[in-house]
A and B are shown apart, each in its own frame.
With several copies, the nearest count.
Chain A
Amino acid sequence: MFSRVLIANRGEIAVRIQQTLQAMGIATVAVYADPDISAPHVAMANAAYPLHGDSAKDTYLNVGELLEVARESGAEAVHPGYGFLSESPAFARACAAAGLVFIGPTPDSMEALGDKVRSKEIAALAGVPTVPSSAVLDGVGADAQGFVEQWGFPLLVKAAAGGGGRGMRLVDGPDQLAQALESASREAQAAFGDGRVFLERYLQHPRHIEFQILADGRGHVIHLLERECSIQRRHQKLIEETPSPAMSPDLRRRMGEAAVALAKAAGYVNAGTAEFLLDPDTEEFYFLEVNARLQVEHPVTEAILGMDIVAWQARIAAGEALDIAQEDVRSLGHAIECRIYAEDPYSGFLPSTGRLLRWRPPTGPGLRLDSGVDEGYDVSSHYDALLAKLVAWGPDREASLKRMEGALRRFPVLGLVTNVPFLRRVVTHSGFTTGAYNTAFLDDNPDLLQAPQITEKDEVARSLGAWATANRTSTAARSPSLAPVDDGSPWRQAGPRRLP
């Protein structure tokens, strides 16, 4: 096993990876850009090196500096986390060239699965259904008739060369098609310098289901069951759970086999995730893409399996065999993850910045928090708005949801706006608790995007707000960390001690 590993990342995932590595007896090397100098992922590291520059490109994306830190620190391996360079075949190759083990898939399999056309070819090779799509059309006016005759409307026009919603048009009927092709192609040309588009069948209310894969370098591949990730906002996942409420044992077996077949066909090594769209009514599923890295939502899988996926990533990268058979993968209970973002759900999920004046995560049975921040931390606009991930495990779905509700309710955050109260509204919403939801959940429940209606609690809040404002001067003198300890008075109260 490695004795020293560089974590080329920041935030909660850099903390979480180091926790596992340090528990394996591996020394960790952190890197940081200026605003992160006193971030938790740095303070917990065994060694830390600054990255110089104002942008991510100069710092966490700077391959040259990262390799220099690895060399200087004596690291033998690099864990890229997620985001940043985690899916860069060039970085993986540069690590190898520098004699460093890249804790992740091979550059070749990363490349094969990162390319839209090639990954669909691999899926076809593996016999895995993909969302039906046309061949690449050569720009404006191309003849799309064959595809339309076979699949009908609605359909999507999509850019061949890129993603993120650019060059994408939803087409409801034949009269919109010509204009959509023209407009999508123009946008794709502007965005990616490549105007080629293709047509794809549009699934109206799919569920987003993914399967966690583990593959060692010796051809043994297993899946670690599914994660349900249909609760999304702005095409980003917000809440994940496992098992999926939509899954039957037979469907789970079929989708799991498809994920494993795909990984085998791509010669995939290490941890990865096969993403699918599922039509819950027909139980038809379609391959979407492979995320060739650790995923944000991996803790829900760890919670129901009692496994440590990051430990397996390190072991596989160090050449160890994956000594778990598929039939030994047995889950216990149910787990749900909520992503805590510094953002305001009631203003279009606009991010929020400021100092965390209070950050008191709930603790207790069945709870896990993976956090990149601490009380006193300054949330800046430089990086992702993901502050932490709260995971609740329970013996069944109802218990884990109830635990999550309680944990979100007992999680005071002050100093900036987060989505914690919003998340509680979602996990207690009947559309979610019944389990019958899909990726259109927030579109179908626009009430959730409005601030809650006036309630009795609002009057208490107004009263307390008035009380706190009236007391402000005297309160300001009582900073908990500066006020002398008042031994004689273990508590202060303005209320009665008698029953009301």
Chain B
Amino acid sequence: MSQRRIQPHYPTPGPAFSYEVSEENGQVLVHLDSGTVALDVAQGDGSAGWCRPAGGLLLPFAYAWVGNDLHLWLDGDLFIFQPAEQRSRRRVDASAAGGNIASPVPGKISKVLVQVGDTVEADQAVIILESMKMEHLLKANGAGTVVRVLVEEGQQVDRSGLLVEMSMGS
């Protein structure tokens, strides 16, 4: 198995890590940067089962792919991993770059609270987005200036759609 990298995304985003996976005496050995984890893994219908770290408790799991993201349910908790490659690609994507404001979910623009040329402070509300019958404040990541407003009130937006372009730095 060739060495690859994935990156924890949820619940806590974390640094990408390398892994290698092998099998020995029926155990799964996962070699991480921090050391090797030995797991018993029993898989039922192809995407669910239970695992047991050496000396630990039995933990049920299930997983599914959402695009290239791995959603892993483990004993009551959800973990999401992304390929490290995809993650770095996203970083340079306009919609997520710098202090630009993108829509975290599909929804409707209730209110645009800034105009081009406005200077905003960190955590200042920029957009009110309505999704699932609730209003959500979208805030500036840091201090900066509004370069472009790409949406108007009442407009429907997709997930990850760029809403406001910012030039960062006060």
Task: Tell me if chains A and B make direct contact, with any CB pair below 8 A.
Answer: yes
**A interface, CB within 8 angstroms of B:** 37-39, 42-48, 234, 342-344, 346-348, 350-355, 357-358, 360, 374-377, 380-385, 408-418, 420-421, 424, 451-452, 454, 456-472, 475-476, 478-485, 487, 491-498, 500
Q: How far is the CB of B47 from chain A (nearest CB, A)?
A: 6
> Can you report 28 A-B residue pairs in the complex whose CB atoms are below 8 A from each other?
A38-B44, A38-B48, A348-B137, A350-B105, A358-B47, A374-B44, A375-B45, A381-B107, A409-B75, A417-B10, A420-B76, A421-B78, A459-B37, A460-B39, A460-B53, A462-B8, A462-B32, A464-B63, A465-B79, A467-B30, A467-B39, A469-B6, A470-B1, A471-B21, A472-B65, A475-B47, A495-B28, A498-B26
User: Contacts A42-B42, A376-B46, A383-B132: A487 and B58 contacting too (C-beta < 8 A)?
Assistant: no
What number of B residues sit within 8 Å (CB to CB) of A?
A: 73
Once the chains are docked, how many angstroms separate the CA of A380 from the CA of B106? Answer: 8
Q: Is the CB of B58 within 8 A of A47?
A: yes
B158 an interface residue at 8 Å Cβ cutoff? yes
Q: When A and B form their complex, which 4 residue pairs have the shortest distance between CB atoms, in order from nearest?
A: A376-B45, A38-B44, A478-B46, A451-B11
Q: Is the CB of B43 within 8 A of A493?
A: yes
In addition to A496-B40, A500-B54, 4 A-B residue pairs with Cβ atoms within 8 Å of each other are A461-B72, A470-B21, A494-B43, A495-B26
Known A-B contacts A347-B104, A358-B64; A384 and B52 likewise in contact (beta carbons under 8 Å): no
Compute how far the CA of A391 lies from the CA of B8 in the bound complex, rounded to whole angstroms. Answer: 32
User: Which residues of B from 56 to 84 have beta carbons under 8 Å from A?
Assistant: 56-67, 70-81, 83
Contact residue among A457, A478, A481 (Cβ-Cβ distance under 8 Å from B75): A457
Q: Which residues of A contact B104 (CB under 8 A)?
A: 347, 350
Bound CA span A24–B58, Å: 19
Q: Closest CB of chain A to B139's CB: distance in Å?
A: 9
Residue of B10, B19, B25, B78 most packed against chain A (CB within 10 A): B78
B131 touches A351 (CB 8 A): yes
CB distance from A52 to the nearest CB of B (A): 14
Closest Cβ neighbor of A354 among chain B residues? B66
Bound CA span A467–B39, Å: 10
CA distance A440 to B160 in the complex (A): 33
A491 B106 Cβ-Cβ under 8 A: no
In the complex, the answer to whether B21 meets A487 with C-beta atoms within 8 Å is no
Interface residues of chain B: helix, strand, loop or mixed (majority):
strand
* A496 engages B11 (CB within 8 Å): no
A46/B71 in contact, CB under 8 A: no
Structural contact, B27 and A463, CB atoms closer than 8 A: no
Within the assembled complex, what's the spacing in Å between the Cα atoms of A14 and B100? 40
A48 lies within 8 A of B62 (CB): no
Q: Is B93 located at the chain interface by the 8 A CB criterion?
A: no
Residue of A351, A414, A454 with most chain B CB atoms under a 10 A cut-off: A414
Of B21, B55, B59, B67, the residue contacting A467 (CB under 8 A) is: B21
Whether B47 pairs with A409 at a CB distance below 8 angstroms is no
Question: How far does the alpha carbon of A483 sit from the alpha carbon of B59 in the complex, in Å?
Answer: 26
- The answer to whether A38 touches B50, judged by C-beta atoms less than 8 angstroms apart, is yes
- Residue numbers of B with Cβ under 8 A of A are 1, 4, 6, 8, 10-12, 17, 19, 21, 23, 25-28, 30, 32, 34, 37, 39-67, 70-81, 83, 104-107, 131-134, 136-137, 158-159
| A469 and B81 form a contact (CB under 8 A) | yes
B10 to chain A, nearest CB (A): 7
B21 near A454: Cβ-Cβ < 8 Å: no
From the candidates A351, A414, A457, name the one contacting B71 in the complex (CB within 8 A).
A414
Residues of B within 8 A of A456 (CB): 53, 56
Q: Could you tell me if A500 and B79 are in contact, using CB atoms closer than 8 angstroms?
A: no
**Cβ contact within 8 Å between A484 and B39:** no
CB–CB B48/A493 < 8 A: no
Q: Which of A381, A382, A461 contacts B74 (CB 8 A)?
A: A461
Set of chain A residues within 8 Å of B79, measured between Cβ atoms: 458, 461, 465
Q: For A469, what are the chain B residues with a Cβ–Cβ distance below 8 Å?
A: 4, 6, 19, 70, 81, 83
Q: Which residues of A contact B30 (CB under 8 A)?
A: 462-463, 466-467
- Complex Cα–Cα for A228 and B97 (A): 45
Q: Measured between alpha carbons, how far is A296 from B44 in the docked complex, in Å?
A: 26
B80 contact set on A, CB distance < 8 A: 417
Given A413-B78, A478-B46, A492-B44, A465 contacting B6 (CB threshold 8 A): yes
CA distance A437 to B134 in the complex (A): 26
B114 CB, nearest partner CB in chain A, Å = 18
